[in-house]
Structure 1
């Protein structure tokens, strides 16, 4: 017994000394932060972001000032990105480097709050009537399940499923926040120093749950064939952390990343209660349940959701000083926001990229001339060349496009589409929908041995002339004969290009002959 007591005392003393030697230092926020966002690798350049599932990532670089004590210490960096990839974290500036690092990202959410209260007393707040406007009662309960599936609770009446039938709407009120849950993501590192000193530490890491895109607004004047073109860079974040007054930038082009965590199932803080059990599970015969323990003062959270982040919103910065600046980055392009901007949690922000005037565009109505077909609306296509003489001449990152045209004193939306990534000197094409005012049909006129005669008819109901471009389909071995107009070629295919007069018609007759 003496030996045991002595051993216990020795272990206790050793633990106290070990605890005394390991200090904990907390860095609450960075002094400065830079956020560089990369587009989702799997998203097409001309496709819009899915704001409910952002699959891009960001390189985040933080500068912090830390008072490092002598000896061993744990440095806690609070307020890092919740989507941090801890294996990419690089910490420089500590006197003798880093021995160990750990990401504490078990954040407060409806799911984590429910899971961490397993076996703990809560208050079950019940509303009669599904609209929640009936009478309200409260009773003590104990959580007896995880957050997956039904919310099983134990009350004085036995085991039952919360929010399940009986025209009751249940909510769970939690008495306190359980230990281990953090309101802010935290990266902790273990280090050692031979003396106390103040250090400027740089923390860099990748985090997922970000994305960006370019949004284009084109105001086209059919009379001049020119347009005003406004481009926005839209930054989006689904991370729980906001980066205030950050140096922000985005990278255009595709960066190869393999084995990235954004391909895995994303953890979700939402709590969805399922009702797949009977409202009341009968108590087995002879079984008695102790009453739930007394309840301390409660912290309220709804049964199915807890609001922990800011609501998504959009902010537009129109000041010329905020126009992003293009820089080279190897084969990629970096677009830097020249003034500090806040990349807010669960939010999107737009910053001006280009405000151009007099951009030359050609508007084409397009269709494919195949076999006989009924009259159908033609496609609406914008085309130009990315060159200085057309009012362009710089890299164009892909993104959604909205086309407007004047109608009296107003500008009205006439089409939407997507712009791919275009380098300087490339031909630019943007499909922005269909034009019901310009229609095309193909009629079969005659048929013989291995040949058919067709007539393509384009009608224009607009009070102005339009440019039409039709692609004439040719299958393997087929030839075109007796064509009534000269055809050009584009991308190796026969093209019929014609100006259709206002409220007028254009026709093309041709014979398609099959190989014998």
Structure 2
């Protein structure tokens, strides 16, 4: 369609897919965005292929030494997918066990949906190589021009014709008295349908090199631009340790008290009710108080292999606190005194990470990386102290 005269003409063109579902047409006159002129426009093709599909189709040419009917499995990398693990931990009444469940949430950011798909995810940190810099196009700038669309000032205001309303007297003359009588008819009682069967338990993860593969035991529907959530793992009666943790850093030593962190520790081993690879994700901890299930806290964890320690740092405790004081310092050592206080009516287990070179070397402490771990039991409504010398280099 000519922009000036509005005359329709036919000419050869190259059609390309444009952004946001648009179409770009390249003719002898230049580039044009089809469908935005406001004038009659259409595409004319000399012929249509017999095997043309209305949906995007991937064609594969296979070479075989003999003719046969075979089933091919096509594997390719698809973009726009992501997944995350979300854990739900319910603390039991004894305070020493919890029921752990994990949900797998898959997000499909593409425009293609998958029905009855066999879903598998890989947990871990794959080694990804950076792509080389792609050559930049050397063509000239592409300028797309469209006819302006109508706005409110393009046309004069429409006149609204008055609506003839009937007179009130005429409506009253035609009014009649209507009497309704009704009674409640009892609905027949029907048996409730049986509950659906529970989903099958998820299989254990499989090893893929240094990564872990999780297979969903049932087929799922992953809609386009949508999400799907399925059960990833379900582990009841997992042994858990409740403790209060803190780390000594450069800001300590001024004698100020600060709260310690409430930490729940799980040992990822079969003897404690776990013993499986756990992908990174967010954990929500629930506790039952007076018969009500309440959210106690949320935290994030990293990828945990079998045999590793799993720590859930839930919240800061105002009742269990730590105070560090520097008593003196020489050219070779600095004197530290750590005091832990407990305002709760029961004993509390504390774990303090000391990133100092302690002299003399403590024999009863655990070495964790470059730090020492001081574990202590703080009596109810009491306190406990520990003094050591930091070796200065």
TM above 0.5? yes
Q: Which of 122, 128, 148 is equivalent to 1:251?
A: 122
Q: Given the alignment of the two structures, is residue 479 of structure 1 paired with residue 359 of structure 2, yes or no?
A: yes
Shift of 1:335: 1.8
* Rounded Cα–Cα distance in structure 2 between residues aligned with 1:206 and 1:228: 36
Shift of 1:192: 10
Q: Which of 272, 288, 312 is equivalent to 1:406?
A: 288
Q: Which runs of 5+ in 2 are unaligned?
A: 1-14, 26-30, 46-52, 135-146, 150-195
Indicate the residue corresponding to 2:109 in structure 1.
238
For the Cα contact (< 8 Å) 1:367–1:469, is it kept in 2?
yes
Indicate the residue corresponding to 1:364 in structure 2.
243
* Rounded Cα–Cα distance in structure 2 between residues aligned with 1:205 and 1:248: 14
Q: Given the alignment of the two structures, is residue 493 of structure 1 paired with residue 371 of structure 2, yes or no?
A: yes
Q: Which of 381, 388, 391 is equivalent to 1:510?
A: 388
Indicate the residue corresponding to 1:225 in structure 2.
96
Shift of 1:409: 2.2
For the Cα contact (< 8 Å) 2:24–2:34, is it kept in 1?
no
Q: Given the alignment of the two structures, is residue 344 of structure 1 paired with residue 223 of structure 2, yes or no?
A: yes
Q: Which of 282, 299, 313 is equivalent to 1:417?
A: 299
Q: Given the alignment of the two structures, is residue 380 of structure 1 paired with residue 256 of structure 2, yes or no?
A: no
Change over 3 Å in CA distance of 1:200–1:378 after alignment to 2: same
SS of the residue corresponding to residue 239 of structure 1 reads coil
Change over 3 Å in CA distance of 1:212–1:179 after alignment to 2: farther
SS of the residue corresponding to residue 389 of structure 1 reads helix
Indicate the residue corresponding to 1:470 in structure 2.
352
Shift of 1:230: 0.8
Shift of 1:384: 2.5
* Rounded Cα–Cα distance in structure 2 between residues aligned with 1:319 and 1:174: 58
Shift of 1:375: 2.3
Shift of 1:362: 1.3
Counterparts of residues 50-449 of structure 1 (less than 5 Å) = 106=17, 110=20, 112-113=21-22, 118=32, 122=36, 142=37, 184-189=55-60, 202-221=73-92, 223-258=94-129, 320-326=198-204, 328-331=206-209, 332-370=211-249, 371-373=252-254, 374-448=256-330
SS of the residue corresponding to residue 78 of structure 2 reads strand
Shift of 1:201: 5.3
* Rounded Cα–Cα distance in structure 2 between residues aligned with 1:323 and 1:244: 21
Change over 3 Å in CA distance of 1:406–1:500 after alignment to 2: farther
For the Cα contact (< 8 Å) 1:450–1:513, is it kept in 2?
yes
- Shifted more, 442-451 versus 402-411: the winner is 442-451
* Rounded Cα–Cα distance in structure 2 between residues aligned with 1:408 and 1:510: 44
Shift of 1:512: 3.0
* Rounded Cα–Cα distance in structure 2 between residues aligned with 1:183 and 1:235: 28
Q: TM-score, normalised by structure 1?
A: 0.49
Indicate the residue corresponding to 1:159 in structure 2.
none
Aligned-residue CA RMSD (Å): 4.1
Give the structure with the larger strand fraction.
Answer: 1
